[in-house]
Chain A
């Protein structure tokens, strides 16, 4: 089975712009979660989608949003980019909704905001 894929792998944007990142989960997985990783804050949970519904949301401003499509692919959007949004954005997929199964991570999208 193919693993979790994320596109693009690298992005450079300027302050004030917006960006959309994409995540394709492992075939059959319906849960997709997003995380932000920075040197200062480590890995922080952004949100989780299951069957096109956002189930959990982390402590991030409303500029961060996401959605999930009927094929379980997910996108996250960051509007009005700030320098502090520079990070590695990781998505993870899982088979179940309860949280009993392993989460598998993609390679990440590295975003640099200038």
Chain B
């Protein structure tokens, strides 16, 4: 059974800092890994999708890497802004469209 863990559970940083969010998973037989953002009380916004054959994906200030053999992914956020404050979730796709989610990292970026 796939298990996904995200560390840290919460993070508070001053504006402008670069930061790294971590995600680990136990079963490396994945199709892909997806990073999402969730604002309080809202749905999920897809940030990046990394296929199992890829090592990283970039979108603007975001960069996600995937090391399937070690069961790890990181989300790098450059030059953080208060608008980046949200919960960040990673999810692993093992079969079809069935995602297994981590517990999330709650990020607060202080002005």
Contact = CB atoms under 8 A, between A and B. Distances in A.
Given A100-B51, A107-B42, A107-B43, A45 B96 contact: no
B34 A102 contact: yes
B90 to A, nearest CB: 11
A104 B99 CA distance: 12
Contacts of A55: 96-97
Q: Is the interface of A mostly helix, strand, loop or mixed?
A: strand
Interface residues of A, number: 30
A56 B42 contact: no
B98 to A, nearest CB: 5
Contact of B42 (A35, A58, A108): A108
A3 B44 CA distance: 12
B interface: dominant SS: strand
A88 B97 CA distance: 19
B98 A45 contact: yes
Contacts of B91: 43
A102 B49 CA distance: 6
A42 B104 contact: yes
Interface in A82-114: 88, 90, 92, 94, 97-108, 110
A80 to B, nearest CB: 25
